[in-house]
Chain A
Amino acid sequence: MDFMDLIEMPRVDNVKVYRQIQNYELNQLVTQKLFGSLNLTSHHLIFITQTDLQKPREEIWIVHSSIDSLEKNVTEAKFQLMIKCKNFQIYFVDFPTAYCCNSIHKSLESLSNLTTENMKLPFFCQTISKINQEDWNFYSIEKSYKRFFPNEDSSEWRISEINNDFKISPSYPKKVIVPKNIDDQALIKSSQFRSMGRFPILSYYHKKTNSFILRSSQPLLGSNNKRCKEDELILKCALPKGKQGYVYDLRDASILKTAVSKGGGYETEVNYPLWKRINKHMDRFDQLHISYSKLIDACINSSTQFFYKLDTSAWFYNIRQALYLSFLIADEIHNKNGCFLIHGWDGLDNTLLISSLAQILLDPESRTLDGFIDLIEREWLHAGHPFSKRYFKSAFGITPQKQEGPVFVLFLDCVRQLCEQFCLSFEFNEDFLIMLFDNLYTSEYGTFLGNNQNEREQLLVSSRTVSLWTYVKNEENIKKFINPLYKINDDVIWPSIFTQSLSLWSNLFLRFQINSKPNDEAKKEIVKLVETNLQVKIKVEKLRNELLELQKEAIDAGVLNSENY
Chain B
Amino acid sequence: MKLDLEESNVITKIENVQLEDRSNSKIKTAGLLYLTISHLVFIETNSKREIWIYYSLINSIEKLPLSINGSPILIRTKHFLNCLFIISKERDCQTLVQVLNQYSRPTKYHELLCFRENSHLKKLLDSTHKNNQQIYHLESEYARMGLPNNKWTMTNLNSDYQICDTYPNVLFVPASVEDKILQSSANFRSRGRLPVLSYLHPNGASLTRCSQPLSGFNGRCDEDEQLLQHILMTNENSKFMYVVDTRPKINAMANKAQGKGYENETNYKNIQFHFIGIENIHVMRNSLDKLVKCADSSSNSSFLTELEKTEWLKHIKAIIDTSVFLVEAINDQNTSVLVHCSDGWDRTAQTCALASLLLDPYYRSIHGFQVLIEKEWLLFGHKFSHRCGHLFENDKEISPIFSQFLECVWQLQLQFPCAFEFNETYLIKLHEHVYSCQFGTFIGNCQKERNDLKINELTYSLWDYFQSKIYDFINPLYIPNSVYSNSVLRPDTRIFSFKFWRSLYNRFDSTINHSEKLIDSLSMLSYNTSSLQEYSKLLEKVN
Q: Which of A307, A496, A515 contacts B308 (CB 8 A)?
A: A307
How far, in whole Å, are A423 and B304 apart by their CA atoms in the complex?
Answer: 24
Give the docked Cα–Cα distance between A522 and B540 (Å). Answer: 32
How far, in whole Å, are A547 and B525 apart by their CA atoms in the complex?
25
Contact A424 B521 (CB under 8 A): yes
**Bound-complex Cα distance A421 to B517 (A):** 7
> Is B1 at the interface (CB under 8 A from chain A)?
no
Which residues of B are found within 8 Å of A522, using beta-carbon distances? 417-418, 477
Question: In the assembled complex, which residues on chain A have CB atoms less than 8 Å from the CB atom of B302?
Answer: 311
Across the interface, name the chain B residue whose C-beta is closest to A317.
B301
> B299, B418, B511, B543: which contacts A543 (Cβ < 8 A)?
B543
Chain A interface residue count, CB cutoff 8 Å, equals 57
Cα–Cα distance between A138 and B361 once the two chains are bound (Å): 51
Binds B, one of A69-77, A366-374, A523-531: A523-531
Q: Do A308 and B497 touch (CB < 8 A)?
A: no
Residues of chain A within 8 A of B515, CB atoms compared: 421-422, 493-496
Q: How far is the CB of A527 from chain B (nearest CB, A)?
A: 11
Chain A residue numbers with a CB within 8 Å of B148 are none
Bound Cα distance from A422 to B521, whole angstroms: 11
**Contacts A306-B496, A498-B23; is A529 near B304 (CB within 8 Å)?**
no
Please give the distance in Å from B358's CB to the nearest CB on chain A.
11
Distance in angstroms from B31 CB to nearest chain A CB is 25
Contact A518 B494 (CB under 8 A): no
Interface segment, one of A107-115, A242-250, A451-459, A534-542? A534-542
B313 in the interface (beta carbon within 8 A): yes
| A525 and B477 contact, CB distance less than 8 A | yes
Which of B156-164, B190-198, B528-536 participates in binding chain A? B528-536
Report if A129 contacts B (CB, 8 A).
no
List residues 421-439 of chain A with CB under 8 A from any CB of chain B: 421-425
Contacts of A529 in B (CB 8 A): 476-477, 522, 525-526, 529
Q: Closest A-chain residue to B309, C-beta based?
A: A308
**Chain A residues with CB below 8 A from B416, complex form:** 518
A550 to B482 CA separation, bound complex (whole angstroms): 44
Known contacts A307-B313, A537-B532: does B518 contact A547 (CB below 8 Å)? Answer: no
Chain A contacts for B517, CB-based, 8 A = 423
* Per-residue interface assignment for chain B, residues 513 to 527, with 1 indicating a CB less than 8 Å from any chain A CB and 0 otherwise: 111111001100110
B-side interface size class: 35 or more
B27: chain A residues within 8 A (beta carbon): none
Say whether A503 contacts B499, CB under 8 Å. yes
- The answer to whether A501 touches B502 (Cβ under 8 A) is yes
Note all chain B residues with C-beta closer than 8 A to A31.
Answer: none
**Chain B residues near A221 (CB-CB < 8 A):** none
Complex interface bits, A306-330 against B, C-beta within 8 A gives 1, otherwise 0: 1110111000110010000000000
Q: Is B320's CB within 8 Å of the partner chain A? A: no
A93-101, A153-161, A297-305 - the one binding chain B? A297-305
Cβ contact within 8 Å between A500 and B495: no
Contacts of A539 in B (CB 8 A): 536
> Nearest chain A CB to B303's CB is how many angstroms away?
4
Shortest Cβ distance from A504 into B: residue? B496
Contacts of A514 in B (CB 8 A): 492, 496-497
Whole-angstrom CA separation of A312 from B304 in the bound complex: 9
Whether the pair A543, B304 counts as a contact (CB closer than 8 A) is no
**Are the CB atoms of A423 and B511 closer together than 8 Å?**
no
Chain A interface, DSSP helix/strand/loop, else mixed:
helix
Q: State which of A308, A320, A493, A498 has its C-beta within 8 Å of the C-beta of B305.
A: A308
* Nearest B residue to A544, CB-CB: B539
Judged by a CB distance under 8 angstroms, whether A181 is at the interface is: no
| A249-293 interface code vs B (CB 8 A; 1 in, 0 out) | 000000000000000000000000000000000000000000000
Q: How far is the CB of B44 from chain A (nearest CB, A)?
A: 21
B490 touches A26 (CB 8 A): yes
Q: CB-CB < 8 A to A500: which residues of B?
A: 295, 298, 303, 500, 502, 506, 512
Task: Indicate whether A140 reaches chain B with its CB closer than 8 angstroms.
Answer: no
A546 at the interface (CB under 8 A from B): yes
Is A28 at the interface (CB under 8 A from chain B)? yes
Give the CA-CA distance A421 to B492 in the complex, in Å.
25
B476 proximity list for chain A (CB < 8 A): 529
Residues of A within 8 A of B305 (CB): 307-308, 311-312
Q: Are B525 and A425 closer than 8 Å at their CB atoms?
A: no
Give B489's nearest chain A residue, CB to CB.
A27
- Mask, B357-378, CB within 8 Å of A = 1, is 0000000000000000000000
Contact (Cβ within 8 A) A540 B536: yes
List, in ascending order, chain B residues with CB within 8 A of A308's CB: 304-305, 308
Known: A28-B490, A501-B513, A533-B529. A485 touches B539 (CB 8 A): no
Within 8 A of B (CB), among A59-82: none
In contact, A518 and B419 (Cβ under 8 angstroms): yes
Q: Is A185 an interface residue (CB 8 A)?
A: no
* A540/B539 contact (C-beta < 8 A), A27-B490, A521-B484 known: yes
> Is B479 an interface position by the 8 A CB rule?
yes
B380 vs chain A, min Cβ distance (A): 29
Choose one: B23, B496, B528; the contact of A510 (CB below 8 Å).
B496
With A28-B492, A515-B492 already in contact, 16 other A-B pairs whose C-beta atoms are closer than 8 Å: A26-B490, A28-B490, A299-B496, A303-B494, A306-B308, A308-B308, A311-B305, A495-B515, A500-B303, A513-B494, A521-B417, A522-B418, A529-B522, A533-B529, A540-B532, A546-B539
Tell me the B residues contacting A by CB distance below 8 Å.
23, 295, 298-305, 307-308, 313, 415-419, 476-477, 479, 482-484, 490-492, 494-497, 499-500, 502, 506, 511-518, 521-522, 525-526, 528-529, 532-533, 535-536, 539-540, 542-543
Give 7 nearest A-B pairs by CB, closest first. A311-B304, A499-B303, A522-B417, A27-B490, A543-B539, A307-B308, A308-B308
10 intermolecular pairs with C-beta atoms under 8 Å apart: A307-B495, A312-B305, A320-B301, A500-B303, A500-B502, A521-B418, A525-B418, A532-B529, A536-B532, A540-B532
